[in-house]
Amino acid sequence: MWMEYKPDTEEVCNNPPSLSSRVYKTVLLFTGDMEYMDKYMQDKPYLLQLAVCCFRGVSRVSLANNPLSGALILAALYWDSPWQGLLGTLGTLVSTLTAVVIGQDSAEVLGGLHAYNGTLVSLLIGVFNSAGDWYWLLLLPVCFSSVSCVFLQSGLSSLLAHWDLSSSVYPFNIVLLLYLLCTGPDNPYFPHYQVLPPGGLDVNDTNVIALEMIRAVPLGVGQIFACATLGPSFLIFGAVVLYSPLLAAHAMLGSAIGLLAGLSVAVRHDHLYSGLSGLNGALGCMVVGGLFFTLNWRTHLFAVASAFFASYFDIALGNLLGTVGLPSSSVAATFTVTLMSLLTGTLAQHRIPPSQVSSPELNLLCRSKWKITRTSEEECTAQFSPSAQITLPNL
């Protein structure tokens, strides 16, 4: 006869968890938002706290919020180009200190929310600089642009908060275009390259190299940090995987969609092979696919549609701005995300408020709790509503 076996408490205590379970729990400590790190750093020296803020700010560029991911991304930037790594570090540090000096919200500063625009604008100023690496005069516009991003972000956040929207990377795009317009390609102090429109393919040049197309998919993720080298791009992708595997999967999917969009309208081959065609598709797919919306089959298809829309919009905008030698950058993805966040209907029910955005995996867990809380609040409101309790007499 089978009898139910219940182990004693002493027997359970004497059986420690297996090595695989301990390794798994240890790995989980370094994934997601690593919120415990902020509590741990509260009584630590200011320089260490500043370093964690900067690492979080670097990771925010790829829509992550993990200091270890930020450190890996920064290592990838130095691997790709020490000069670019230096510019990214300087922009992150200057924007973070500027936010501290002008008295921005301490929680936002600790979360790196005032650093990522400075990181991006510093990297792109370095990429478009035609004076070569280690051109020390470039540090002046890098610092000034990083400071400007903080002021722009503060103002735009107050404006967009009325619609419960994030300022995103609007400050970076605005400051970068203003810098390139102010200096010009033949500036004696800050010269830069002119950008060609993506749609300049010759009629007889329609054959593509399959291996280069496969290689361009991870490069589309690396292009989020203006990185066009395969090794550092894989390290950047690994940093995103460390934060959220779901977010990383949507990054690759969006980059592939961007390549398909570029192929369908015959953009230049160097635009495809460098990963630039997949940049905006990756960003659009990442934001909608689990970050600003709870992931399910509807929002997943919504993310695919956003990737296509952002990619085609980027090609059209690139052809327009390319006539005057300016880049489209990430304007298309930023505008697409803002537009998708304003949609109404069934999809609007799955939208996550910007103040509660976390990793897609945690968003899935919290969404069920929000539904339970919302249902309880609605029942409570209906039960204790004055209109339900009091019947006014007819006068």
278-314 pLDDT tens trace:
999 999 999 998 788 888 888 999 999 999 999 999 9
Q: Residue 385 falls within a domain, yes or no?
A: no
What's the CA gap between 170 and 56, in Å, rounded? 19
Residue 13's Cβ-side half-sphere holds a number of Cα atoms within 13 Å equal to 3
Q: Please tell me the predicted confidence (pLDDT) of residue 6.
A: 46
Helix (H), strand (E) at residue 3 = none
Which stretches within the chain are classed as H helix? 9-13, 19-28, 35-40, 46-60, 67-80, 82-101, 106-110, 116-128, 139-160, 170-183, 210-222, 230-243, 245-264, 269-273, 276-286, 297-322, 331-341, 360-384, 386-389
User: Is 233 inside any structural domain?
Assistant: yes
Q: What is the mean pLDDT of each run of 10 residues along the chain (395 residues)?
A: 44 59 70 81 87 94 92 96 96 95 90 94 95 94 96 92 88 95 91 86 67 93 94 96 93 96 90 93 91 88 94 95 92 92 81 81 72 47 40 39
Task: Let me know if residue 54 belongs to a domain.
Answer: yes
Domain annotation covers residue 382: no
pLDDT of residue 200: 66
* Dihedral angle sign, alpha carbons of residues 134, 140, 145, 150: positive
Which pLDDT score is estimated for 383? Answer: 45
Domain range enclosing 155: 30-192
221 and 245 part of one domain? yes
Same domain (yes/no): 221, 128:
no
Domain total of the chain = 2
Q: What is the pLDDT of residue 379?
A: 47
Which of 168, 192, 216 marks a domain boundary? 192
pLDDT tens-place string over residues 207-232:
788 899 999 999 999 999 999 999 99
- Whole-number Å distance between alpha carbons of 239 and 66: 9
Last residue of a domain, one of 144, 161, 192: 192
Structure confidence at residue 154 (pLDDT): 92
4 occurs within a structural domain: no
Question: Are residues 153 and 178 located together in one domain of the fold?
Answer: yes
Residue 23 domain flag:
no
186 and 203 assigned to the same domain: no
The answer to whether residues 101 and 181 belong to one domain is yes
- What's the pLDDT score for residue 295? 86
Same domain, yes or no, for 83 and 108? yes
Same domain, residue pair 239 and 348: yes
Based on the domain organization, do 246 and 182 belong to the same domain?
no
173 and 256 part of one domain: no
Domain boundary among 192, 208, 229: 192
Q: What is the pTM of this model?
A: 0.86
* Together in a domain, 139 and 251: no
In a domain, 230, yes or no: yes
**Do residues 303 and 244 both lie within one domain?**
yes
Same domain for 252 and 111 = no
Q: Residue 176: inside a domain, yes or no? A: yes
Tell whether the torsion through CA atoms of 303, 307, 308 and 314 is positive or negative.
positive
Which CATH number fits the domain that encloses residue 82?
1.10.3430.10
